[in-house]
Amino acid sequence: MNIKKLSNRELHKLALNYGRNALEWRRKFIGILPDIFERRVYKQYGFGSIFEYAAKLAGLTKEQVKRVLSLDEKFQKTPHLHALLVTGEVSVNKLARVASIATPENEEFLSTQVQVLSKSAVETLVRDEKFNREESVPGHGPQPENLSFSPEVQSRLIELQQKGININDLLLEFLQKRDLEIAQQKEQLGEVAPETTSRYIPAKTRRILTKEHGKCCSVPGCTRPAQAIHHTQRFALTNRHDPRYVAPLCKEHHAIAHSIDLKVCAERRL
């Protein structure tokens, strides 16, 4: 092949192909590294350490090798995740992110997710799991951020408190009324939501979702901007934009939601 005669487009396609192959074989090398270490194969061929062996044969750093060996040990009780490490089907970076939450009970689910989700979506999945675990332990949940009230609101609240009015009860009553009002509005809109082939979300539905969630993702604990409106009841089956079954999601949570939908659909076919 005469590289000089290739067009820029052809040269770029060739580089992409070589790059993809390089990543694939690098992951496969990483997968057999724990066995190379366990059998001390590197010593038989004149290498002073597993780190020297990995550096010269695959360009791995010492920290990368340590991470691979650590994951191999952590995944001994989670065979699905261990198989992904050994075969090189998933990058070490993704596997390292789920290692902290992996258990024999959830590892099959995690092994599916790391194969279909982007790195950022995997990070979000891990944060959600840690958030849920903290929430389930009394007194160990995440601490709320400081609230910011305008001077006028602060003055009114202080005045009411000085008069013996329980501010916590007052605010809680307001929030409960707000939730009830939103739920009633969603119920009313949902009952009259027409069937449609258009995926455009009606303005009334968008307004009630903004009223409920602001401009952020609807997943508890997530403050990222909402970038998509997800149908919790598949639109292809209902053909309706019922506000009771749609939710604004950030890019990462939208990807997670769809990956779970695909898994559920696959299980139903079995």
What residues does each domain of the chain span? 3-132, 160-269
List of the chain residues with pLDDT < 70: 135-145, 261-270
DSSP annotation of 89: -
Annotate 213-268 with DSSP letters as a single string. Answer: HTTB-SSTT--SBP-EEEESS-HHHH----GGGEEEE-HHHHHHHHHHHHHHHHHH
Give the span between the Cα atoms of 186 and 202, in whole angstroms.
13
Judged by DSSP in three states, 142 sits in: coil
pLDDT attached to residue 20: 86
Give, in order, the Cα–Cα distances in Å from 226 to each of 99, 111, 123, 216, 218: 28, 27, 17, 5, 8
Give the span between the Cα atoms of 60 and 54, in whole angstroms.
5
pLDDT attached to residue 270: 43
Rounded to a whole number of angstroms, the CA Rg of the chain reads 26
Residues whose CB is less than 8 angstroms from the CB of residue 25 and which lie 6 or more positions away in sequence, other chains included: none
